[in-house]
Structures are given as C-alpha cells and as structure tokens.
Structure 1
Amino acid sequence: MITIPYLTALTTYFSYGLLFAFGQFRDLFRKIFDWWSANNLQGYASICLGLEDFYVRRLYLRIQYCFGRLIASAPDAWFDVVERYSNDNNKTLKRATNITRCLNLGSYNYLGTTVLHTDLEECVAKFVGKSAAVVFGMGYVTNSTILPVLIGKGGLIISDSLNHNSIVKGAQGSGATIRVFSHNTPPHLEEVLREQIAEGQPRTHRPWKKIIVVVEGIYRMEGELCKLPEITAICKKYKAYIYLDEAHSIGAVGKTGRGVCELLGVDPADVDVMMGTFTKSFGSCGGYIAGSKELIQYLKYTCPAHLYANINLTTSCSTDYICHRSYS
C-alpha cells in the first residue's frame, strides 16, 4: 500500500478547491450579467443548469488540448501530431504549422495487434501457467463480454452469490440459465450441481449443453479467499467447467504472485478459464483471459471486446512486471 504524503494530498485538494471557487465566482458574475441583459427565452427552462457543465466550462476547457490531440497520419505505434494554439482560453483551438512525431500510448487502431500485445499475452500465459492468453482494454469488459461467448441458450451458469457485477451482467447477457450457490460454500455448490444435472433444461429436461461454475479468487468486499481446492474437486466430479476471476488475487497472493492456484496448491490445468486484470497489483489497465490455445483462438475470433475494440498500449507496461516475476 502506497502512503501519500500529507502535503501532496493537501495541496492537491487545495488546487481543486481553488479552481472550484474561482469557477463559482465567475458563474455568479455571469448570472448577474445575464439577469441584467435582455432575455429572449422568457418562460423556457434552462437546457443546462450551471453545475451540469461546470466541470467542462471551468476545468476541462483549460486542459482539453492535452486530451484532444489532432493527428495527421495513421494511428500506428508512432504518428504525427499537429500542434495547435488558442487565443480565447482554449474555447477554440487553431491549427499551427508545426507537426511533431510522437509515440502512441492510447489510440484506436483496428488494423491489428502490435508486437507488444503479443509479448504481453505470452508473458501472461506463462505467468499463470496456461498455454495461451488474450488481453483486453478493460477488466469489466473482459467478464461481461467473454461469458456470452463461452456459453449460451441451453447452457447453465452456476455463480457464487457475491460475484462481481461484471460477472452478473455477462451471465445475464449470455442467454444461459443462471443458478446461484451460497457464497463460498462448496457443499451447496454440489447440491445445486446435482439437482440441476438431474432436472436438466427447463421444460424439455434435456441435458445441459455446457455447465460453467464461476468464482472469484479473492472476493473484493469481504477479502475472503475462494475455497478453490474443494470447488475444483466438485467440478471434476460433475464434469463442469471452472471460470476463475482473479482480478483481486493475481499478483497479490502466492509465493511468486501467481494467484490463488499457487497459494492453495491447485494445478492451473484444473481451471479451464482464468481471468484477471492489470488494474490492481500490476498498476496498469486492462484485463486478460488465459486458457488452452483452442479456447484463446476461439475467443479472438468471436469476442466483440477483441474484434471491435482497441487495446490500449499502456497495458503493455504490465509486461515488464509479469515477465520479471515469470523468469525470476
């Protein structure tokens, strides 16, 4: 845990407070001016209240140039940035004649995966003990878009009652039947599995096309470790797949930071789908799915989060950390 110096925290809050105060004073004078001037919209309510766009008007406009950069080339690893200037406090930006060659650290590019992403995926797979991996630009999206690809109508998802909202939304969007077992209670999981296998699909009572049990490595609000050895044994017994979310456990537990499998002595081969994020222990952004080569190839061809979205290049800063832990 990183401790922020009191002086840094206080000066930061003071700066925000100062900007807010000056913005409020300027809004007050604007209201007085508008009241004094003629109003051609008598009887109409204001489309936008003062505080609704306060951040944009008084804070963001002053730094918008930092985020809205104009480029004059393809959004590749390197691109040409057009310099701009403003004569009205950044309300409008005018194009200058200078063009600067810059490194792209975060831009949409649908033309393919970079070498850095491939290196990161290989490092992730080796780190968690799987054959292959695929990385995504956001951890929440990783869960919410992967589950609908893995399972659909005629399938059964058995989810821990305290699973993260991203898992819940992914399960709901899959079209599969959803059943919940008591939080971190293997006996109840076995009871639900046995009952559902015996009953089969609703109405038709046909066998389930697929059964996936979804758990987390460490439950974020409770700080509680998943009883993975017992759950793994039950899933093996009933031929159910295991989906393990390690957003809060990967990099944090285990002798070398490889998560709950390492900590609890579970063979990664016994976990079919291993999900994790870079936003916690790795101090970066994005998420990943690790599994068999066949699974990862299938996900790359079918998952919308991979096909229709970009992968932020800042995710690759996790590579050094993961590779260091993998090879040391």
Structure 2
Amino acid sequence: MPATRSSSSARRRSTRALSPPASPGAASVPAAVLSPEETSSVSHAAAPAPAPREQAHDSEGPTAFVVLTTYFAYAMLVLMGHIRDFLGRMAGSRYRVLNGVKGYAPLLQDWENFYTRRLYHRIQDCWNRPIKGPPFSATMEVIDRRPVPRTYQLEPTEKSGKFLNLGSYNYLGFADDWVESCRGAVMKAVDQFSVSSCSSAVDIGLTSLQAELEANVAAFLGKDAAIVYSMGYGTNAASIPALMGP
C-alpha cells in the first residue's frame, strides 16, 4: 500500500507539472468537465492573435549597367555641346545673337539656355506634338513633322499616326461634340443671361444661375455655402490670398 500511494502521488505531481499554467484572464474550469469543442474554444480564446505578416516588396531599380550608360550618354551630350559652343565662338554660330550684340546686354546667360540649345533641340520632336481631331477618345491622331533645313523648326506633314491618349486635357469634357451633349442648356443660358455672365461677380454681380450652381455644390459637399470659380488659376490667385490674409 505505501508503494501504491507513492506511485499515485508521483503521477499526480507529474500531471500538474506538465499542464500549462492558466492565463490571468482565462476561467479556471476543470478540463474533465468541458467537451472537446469547448476545450478547443477556450484554448483559442486564451492564445494571442498572430501578428500580421508584412508582404515582401522587391524594388525594381535600374541595374548598374543601365545607370552607368545613362550617365555616360548624358555626359557625352554635355561635353559635345560645350565643344560646339567653343567652335561656334570662333567660326560663327546661329546662336551668336543670344550671347549679345555690341552695345546691348545679352538676352540670356550662356548656361541658362545651354540645355535648350544643345540637348532639347535634339529630341524636341518628342514634345509639343500637333494632333488632328478632338482628344476625348482613347486614341488620337498625331501629325508627323519634319525638320526645316538649317533651322531647329519643325513643320507638319500630310502624314499622321494613331497613338494611345494618356494625357488628354479634356477633363471638363469641352472637346466633345457640345451640339449633341449640352447645346440646349448652353443656348438657353446665353439667351437668358447673355455672354457677359461669364465675367467676374464683382463686375456684373451674381446671376441666379450661378447662385443655383453654388447652392448645388454646397449641398453636394454638405457645406453651408460654396464659391464656384471658372478656372483653377483664378481660385489659387484670388481666393487663397484673400482667405489666408497677408
């Protein structure tokens, strides 16, 4: 009997040592009373929530070869531009008038227009492309140009190509066919308020149409009142200084 009691007490002590300590917030309930589903719910409730895993992000930077060749090409363009400027001072250059005429101050400093003269003119056909047709669709017709001999001017040709439109300025929709979209409302407003209604409210006052528009904008924004300007530059140049003060 003494041996049996000692073995039973040893098993009880080992069972207590292997059982995890109860958390401060968990209820002290004997495991024998709970069902397997309840035991699982208690253990899940006591376990801390896992920390959110951060997704790995691989930065797609240029390779060393691309960076080196880009800087090398840019340095060569700058070097060739300075060489052409040096030769132009001795043999004459079409840009001599920009450096100043005798008795007059120069129009531009040499370095201020260096980029335009020696770098931009080499790739100017990539900018200021004339288009043919309205720019409101996903594609638009771009007119081809050719350089004029002995000048840096570009003249349009009869050829054109279709390109994807990624930078249209038709954010107000004015490039659309207004005869089909808003001709009725425009002609009615012109007949009732005349073309002078586009002037500043300081000059001609506030028309009922403008008051209705500002009321609708205020109601849409959930504000007491609103001021509508005909252009963004007028908003920045006129209203912000007046609201912020000196």
Higher Rg: 2
Instruction: Give TM-score, length-normalised by structure 2.
Output: 0.43
Instruction: Give TM-score, length-normalised by structure 1.
Output: 0.33
Choose between structure 1 and 2 for higher RCO, CA contacts under 8 A separated by at least 6 residues: 1
Relative to its length, the structure with more strand (as a share) is 1
